[in-house]
Amino acid sequence: MPTINLENVSLYYEEQGAGEPLLLLHGLGSNGRSWEYQVEPFARQYRVIVPDVRGHGRSAKPTGPYSVSQFANDIFNLLDHLQIDRFHLVGLSMGGMIGFQMAVDRPERLKSMTIVNSGPELIPRGLKEKWQILQRRLITRFVSMAKIGEIIGGKLFPEPHQAAYKSQFIEQMSNNDPEAYKAATNALLGWSVSNKLARIQCPILVISADMDYTPVAFKEAYVRQLPTARLQVIENSRHATPIDQPEVFNTAVLQFLHTVG
């Protein structure tokens, strides 16, 4: 599948299906393969575009620093190359943050947005969150990618029947370039578009796992600031909802997309 050279980075992407464009954006340290349970079902009705974000997967990994605005601009350049004007977006975790950035930068381009276990900012509030951010910085500086994969994978997929998911995640993380992963992590820490949410014009579905890192209450709070948004909680799920609850997740997204046309 193609790799295209954009302004200052080459991006790998895959495309499947026909119809209205549907962009899938993955999380930190992952890549487009994390949507393996979504691409085929979604491509029966949509033109599905699945890129690897700068610094991830099979895309280029230039020297940092990176920024969320830069990630968003990369994706807009990819869509321009594909001659896609308006599109639906589904973003998980970091992909949701990129989605928010895209929606405030160029709101006229988005037909709808589905935000999964994510939000419009990653700013620590209180001692607990500040300690978590410090831990993340220390981990990315001193711990190997394989060990990071084991730590995070154990939180994402703790159940015995999820062992294959955990192994696959650890393998994905192990293949990350450490410097690119650090640059991407630093791009997210302290980022916010919370003061620009009024710019967003499109319908929004916010999906929260009941056992996500951030509580459902966090999503409820920012959904109240978005007149076009609604929240759906998926039970028995953690941060990687598209993987640990694919059927429920896919149904929720497709039902939402059908309502927005």
Evaluate if residue 48 carries a pLDDT over 80: yes
Residues in CB range of 48: below 8 A, 6 or more apart: 15, 16, 17, 22, 24, 38, 39, 42
Percent of the chain with pLDDT over 70: 98
Assess contact for 46 and 19: CB atoms under 8 A. yes
Residues in CB range of 194: below 8 A, 6 or more apart: 120, 121, 222, 225
Evaluate if residue 55 carries a pLDDT over 80: yes
* Residue 121 DSSP symbol: B
3-state SS record for 76-92: HHHHHHCCCCCEEEEEE
- CA angle, 81 then 82 then 86, to 5°: 110
Give the separation between CA 171 and CA 57, rounded to whole angstroms: 12
Average pLDDT value over all residues in the chain = 94
Closest CA to 165 of 107, 72, 240, 227: 240
Peptide bond before residue 65 is cis, with ω within 30 degrees of 0? yes
User: Which residue segments constitute the domains of the chain, with CATH numbers given?
Assistant: 3-123+192-260 (3.40.50.1820)
Length of the chain: 261
Per-residue pLDDT, 8: 83
Average pLDDT for residues 228-233, to the nearest whole number? Answer: 97
Token digits of residue 225:
């600031």
Look up residue 247 and give its amino acid: E
If pLDDT is split at 50, 70 and 90, which confidence band does 179 have?
very high
If pLDDT is split at 50, 70 and 90, which confidence band does 136 have?
confident
Assess contact for 50 and 24: CB atoms under 8 A. yes
Average pLDDT for residues 117-131, to the nearest whole number? Answer: 82
If pLDDT is split at 50, 70 and 90, which confidence band does 6 have?
confident
Phi-psi region of 117 (alpha: psi -120 to 50; beta: other; left: phi over 0): left
Residues in CB range of 195: below 8 A, 6 or more apart: none
Per-residue pLDDT, 261: 74
pTM for this prediction: 0.95
Phi-psi region of 126 (alpha: psi -120 to 50; beta: other; left: phi over 0): left
Per-residue pLDDT, 222: 97
pLDDT in tens, 95-118: 999 999 999 999 999 999 999 999
Per-residue pLDDT, 243: 98
Closest CA to 66 of 57, 56, 81: 56
pLDDT in tens, 183-224: 999 999 999 999 999 999 999 999 999 999 999 999 999 999
Average pLDDT for residues 144-153, to the nearest whole number? Answer: 93
Closest CA to 202 of 92, 118, 113: 113
Q: Which of 36-40, 124-128, 164-168, 229-233 has the weakest average pLDDT? A: 124-128
pLDDT in tens, 17-37: 999 999 999 999 999 999 999
Per-residue pLDDT, 1: 60
| β pairing state of 229-234 and 204-209 | parallel
